Amino acid sequence: MTGAELLTAVLLGAGAFVALTSALGVLRMPDFFSRIHPAGENESLGQTLIIAGLIVAAGPGGTALKLLLVWGFLMMTAPAATHALTRAAWQDGRRPWSRDDDGPAPPTPPRAGGAST
Amino acid sequence: MSLLATGLFNLLNYWVYVSLMMIGLYAVIAKTNLVKKVIGLSLFQTGIFIFYISMGVVSGATTPITWTDAERLRLGLSRVEVAPERAAAALAAVEEDGLDAARAALGPLAPADAARLDELLARPYTNPLPHVLILTAIVVSVSTMAVALAIVMEIKAAYGTIESDEIVTAELETARAARS
Amino acid sequence: MTDRWIVELLLAVVVVTAVGVVRARNLLVASVLLGIYSLVMALIWTAMEAYDVALTEAAVGAGISTLLLIGALIRTGSRIGGSKERDAPRIDKVALAVAVLTGAALAYGTLDMPAIGDPTAPVHVHPKVARHYIDRSMEETHVPNMVTVVLASYRGYDTMFETCVVFTAALGVMVLLRRRRPPAEPAPGEMREQAIFVVMTRMTVPFVLAYGSYVITHGELGPGGGFQGGVILAAGYLIYALVYGLAAAQRALPPRLTDVGAGLGVLIYAGVGVACLLLGGDFLAYDALNQADPAKGQQLGMTLVELGVGLTVACVMVTIFNEVAQP
Amino acid sequence: MTLTPQVPALVVLVPLLAGVVIGLVRHAGLAWLLASLASVTTFALTLALAARVQAEGVVIYAMGGWAAPTGIELRVDALNALVLALVAGMAAVIVPTSRASVAREVPADRHDQFYALVLLCVAGMLGVTATGDAFNLYVLIEISSLTAYALVALGRSRDRRALTASFQYLIMGSIGASFLLVGLGYLFLATGTLNMADMAVRLADLHGSTTVRTGVAFVIVGLSLKMALFPVHQWMADAYTYAPTSVTALMASTATKVGVYITIRFVYTIFGHELSFVIMPTDAFLLAFACLAIVVGSLQAIRQHDVRRLLAYSSVAQIGYLVLGLALGSALGLSGTLVHLLNHALVKGALFLAVGAVVYRQGGATMHELTGIARRMPLTAAAIAVGGLGLIGVPLTGGFVSKWYLVAGALEAGLWPVAVVVLVGSLLAVAYVLRLLQVVYFGEPGTVAPEPAGEAPASFWAPALLLLLGSVALGVSGQLTGGLIAAAAGALAGGAP
């Protein structure tokens, strides 16, 4: 295994790990606002690691440039999308849950009306 | 049992398509919500796409975009261990005289590498025709969906509901009111 | 095909997602799941080396269809579907029987089929169909992407009608939904608080439009073509409309213009065919466009019809979005 | 340069291009004018094509210059030349005369889109009829269906049930088309070709394959859905009842006929006699449902209060006759189907136009609104009377000739119960037609509904009477039935692809 291949493997592995943890986070977190946080983590850090790994694997050239462009767009759109979601939730009347609130965290978002599948 | 085993290996994609069509057809018939019916129709149609595309697959084949010999060779050389100057000579030869000359210019390779290179150089293409047919079918299916949803929106405007059973009730009431 | 087991894994995901789509009681959830379903489908097409189909599925199935569904849900104000389901999900026995019967018949028909990937299957060896496309398309047209050649030349007649189907969909949606009045003006200052979106839009929309044009014009060389590119172009408009509001978007691109563009695209396609006819060839026989070098004529013909397709698809998608999104 | 060799392509292109252009004009009068011009031109082109087929035999046109099966070909023989002329002819009669009823039933700002959809629908049906390529057929069916869904939904400005009818039609139509697509996929997988003629040759060696048999079954089921064969006919009854008048007249006289034509094409030309009737029980399947369609459709028609609905259920029964003839598998039966196809198109188109006239004057077409209209609307009433007699199949109408062929074909095949069903169906038709005529001619107006103000505009009754004239000519002249149709039927039943 060459150095580049090793680096690729490490970067892709790390990216996959971040993606996995953020998926777990989305499942485990108590409310909408805390769920969107791990989701955003994958979109920024996880995808950065994976694209970096792919760039190393592709070597210098056109493919690497395209991957860089993809990364650039991701960095622009992903946070904006997260922002839009949060904003929409806020305008929809949702407020972050905190430990000081009475009772346990709401199991499902309050206004979705039995939204679970 | 042997039928199942061969089927699993050879026809699995087809069986997946059959189950998707069943799921979609069930939804179209059983669901009362009109949007849900449209969604079921969409599942039903996409199932067919799997059938067609699976039909076009050729083992070990590449996408149906013609590769020049030089492109094939370049990809092949990137997958095997070969000295840079011999690779350069082969690439120069392929432009001039074709793949056989390039293969000669490359000189002897390790047996495993040689087999791998030959396989890459002779890679067949998948069948483009099913791809074309399905491109058409995808476009047809989204067009149908657009018209279907437009009708659903108008139904909502006219009846105030998009549940088929409530629409039937509404019509029965209208008929009763007209009679009395 | 790439590693077989990846395909099988993705197929399993697709089936599970499909069940989820049907079982979901919340229609919004079902719509989003359907988008995911299409996206996984696009991955399957990639794994099966059908890149053109994958690009279309991603743009049309996961993009436009999902948007249409969500638009319809907003317009009809319905989130929870099915009065039966509001109580408890029940199995409809008749529907199940029909589905199982159909499935059994379909599965029975597969038993005689050649194994997937078998290069000797009749579909792959027909000398005048599949073999002709693979072996002779480069020589006859000098266009590397066989899918584009089959789509725009060998079966160009089909594709003309496919473009017509898209145009028909726009007509159908227009005739049902169009209200002949301009959309309401956005409240002043509404945009100013959305600085993040405005900046993001300014930075991405030009690239989206450039990429859409690239996909339309480079269908001969790589995956892509009029359908995929047209949808991407429309996506640029959609982003703009979502951020700046429908009124602003319609000021930037008046609906009258997209109405004309939708028809114009079909007319360009058919016009190329008629031009061939006037130059002495058969309808859509692009060879006639360049008597000296038929392959050049083929290339010219395909480029022009792909432009027509792209124009129609982009304008139709924008039109449908306009009609569905109007309050 | 001459355009004569290009006529097969132009037959489809003229309505198609006209449809697209009309979609852009934004002027109701201009849209109507262009649509009328295009439909008349198309009719002239189909007549020229039919004359050419008569003189030269099968006309083949390679699209894009690629010879089939590499490319798509149009293939026109005596059978589809006839259907092409029928579809274009009905459009040429109905579109130019539709202005008054469209002005009444469709919002003025949508006339351009309405006529565009009508012409695209016609282009789709003509394309379906002319093509020699199985997948092209699917795409074109989708064009004619998609336009039809939207056109049916336009009936909502008169009755909101048009919307649910259209939705039901869309669901059934899409399922039918998908079944057809699956069936074609199976046949494509087994043969490797999409060209109909090539497929027919290759299928001859593949009769044992379960893939082929399943493909055949799904094609037949898909087409049955598209034709509205019993028991999947409900969508058609609703769609014809609530669509705008001119749309119903056009669709009732052409859409189902094209469906029957495709079925003949598949069963006889592509599958061939052996695969259709010996290996697969297509005949038994189709015969059973055709007989049920005749009986159930006629019984339903008798129960209807709304005359448009009555005629729609009568159409369900007529499709039974059409399918019955083709399922007999003999030249006699096919002749019956072809004569019936022509006759029913003319008669049903005329009847829906006449009923449209009543809707125009009275605002509806229930038995109440038809009561005693013969006094003030004698020509409309005459059209209803002659059309009704044509539906029964009394001598001197085309209906008599076709039913004669059907009974003879059934007896020739030794299927006397089928012959009985044809006769019973005719008796039931007598029941619903007489009930209608009794109301029209002998009902007392004023007691249940106001008497109409006067005869409807000539654009309603004139084309109706013209079409009926055609039907009577079909019944009286032995030449057409003996010549062209018998030749087409003989060629098909003889097994020659």
Flag whether pLDDT at D27 surpasses 60: yes
- Whether D427 contacts chain B with CB within 8 A: no
* pLDDT score, position D497: 34
Q: How far apart are CA C217 and CA C306, in angstroms?
A: 7
Where residue D408 falls (left for φ over 0; alpha for ψ -120 to 50; beta otherwise) is alpha
Q: From the CB coordinates, do chains D and B have 3 or more pairs under 8 Å? A: yes
* pLDDT score, position D117: 95
Instruction: Determine whether D479 is exposed, middle or buried from the number of CB atoms within 10 Å of its CB (0-12, 13-18, 19+).
Output: exposed
Flag whether pLDDT at C2 surpasses 80: no
Q: Which of D135, D166, D171 sits opposite B37 (nearest CB)?
A: D171
Flag whether pLDDT at D327 surpasses 70: yes
Minimal CA separation from D237 to chain C, in Å = 22
Instruction: Tell me the chain A residues in contact with residue C26 when contact means C-beta distances shorter than 8 Å.
Output: 112-117
Which residue from D403, D246, D248 is spatially nearest to D317, judged by alpha carbons? D403
ipTM: 0.92
Residue ranges of chain B whose pLDDT lies below 70: 1-9
pLDDT tens-digit readout, D220-238: 999 999 999 988 889 999 9
pLDDT tens-digit readout, C251-271: 899 988 999 999 999 999 999
Instruction: Tell me the chain B residues in contact with residue C77 when contact means C-beta distances shorter than 8 Å.
Output: 156
CB D111 within 8 A of CB D31: yes
What average pLDDT does this structure show over C30-55? 92
Residue D1's contacts (CB-CB under 8 Å, 6 or more residues apart) are C278, C280
Is the sign of the CA dihedral D324, D330, D335, D341 positive or negative? positive
D250 pLDDT band (50/70/90 cuts)? very high
* pLDDT score, position C111: 85
D61 bridge partner residues: D74
Q: From the CB coordinates, do chains B and C have 3 or more pairs under 8 Å? A: yes
- Whether B32 contacts chain D with CB within 8 A: no
What average pLDDT does this structure show over A33-55? 90
The answer to whether the CB atoms of C284 and D21 lie below 8 A apart is no
Whether the ω angle into residue D231 lies within 30 degrees of 0, i.e. cis, is yes
Interface test with B, best of C22, C126, C148, C320 (most B CBs within 10 A): C22
* pLDDT score, position D199: 93
Q: Which of D192, D194, D210 sits opposite C112 (nearest CB)?
A: D210
Chain-centroid distance, C-alpha B97: 37
* pLDDT score, position B129: 94
* pLDDT score, position D11: 93
Q: Which residues of D211-243 are buried (b: 16+ CB within 10 A; e: fewer)?
A: bbbbbbbbbbbbbbbbbbbbebbbbbbbbbbbb
Phi, psi of C115 (to 5 degrees): -60, 150
What average pLDDT does this structure show over D158-181? 93
* pLDDT score, position B152: 93
Contacting partners of chain C (3+ CB pairs under 8 A) = A, B, D
* pLDDT score, position B61: 84
Residue of chain C nearest A72, judged by CA positions: C204
pLDDT tens-digit readout, C163-197: 999 999 999 999 888 875 555 555 544 555 578 88
Instruction: Tell me the chain C residues in contact with residue B22 when contact means C-beta distances shorter than 8 Å.
Output: 99-100, 102-103
Q: Residue written as tokens 């094609």? A: D219
A111 pLDDT band (50/70/90 cuts)? very low
The structure tokens listed for D242 are 């609530």
D14 pLDDT band (50/70/90 cuts)? very high
Flag whether pLDDT at A116 surpasses 50: no
Q: Which residues of A50-86 are buried (b: 16+ CB within 10 A; e: fewer)?
A: bbbbbbbbbeeeeebeebeeebeeeebbbebbbbbbb
User: Among B85-89, C55-59, C318-322, whose mean pLDDT is lowest?
Assistant: B85-89
Contacting partners of chain D (3+ CB pairs under 8 A) = B, C
Phi, psi of C211 (to 5 degrees): -65, -40
What average pLDDT does this structure show over D175-200? 94
Flag whether pLDDT at D111 surpasses 70: yes
Flag whether pLDDT at A88 surpasses 80: yes
Name the amino acid, one letter, at D4.
Answer: T
Minimal CA separation from C85 to chain A, in Å = 12
Mean pLDDT value across chain D:
88
Residue of chain C nearest D24, judged by CA positions: C260
The answer to whether the CB atoms of D182 and B155 lie below 8 A apart is no
D447 pLDDT band (50/70/90 cuts)? low
The answer to whether the CB atoms of B41 and D171 lie below 8 A apart is yes
Classified as helix, coil or strand, A20 is helix
Minimal CA separation from C162 to chain D, in Å = 7
CB C243 within 8 A of CB C204: no
Instruction: Tell me the chain D residues in contact with residue C109 when contact means C-beta distances shorter than 8 Å.
Output: 186, 210-211, 213-215, 218
Residue D369's contacts (CB-CB under 8 Å, 6 or more residues apart) are D358, D362, D363, D449
Phi, psi of A97 (to 5 degrees): -85, 145
C85 pLDDT band (50/70/90 cuts)? low
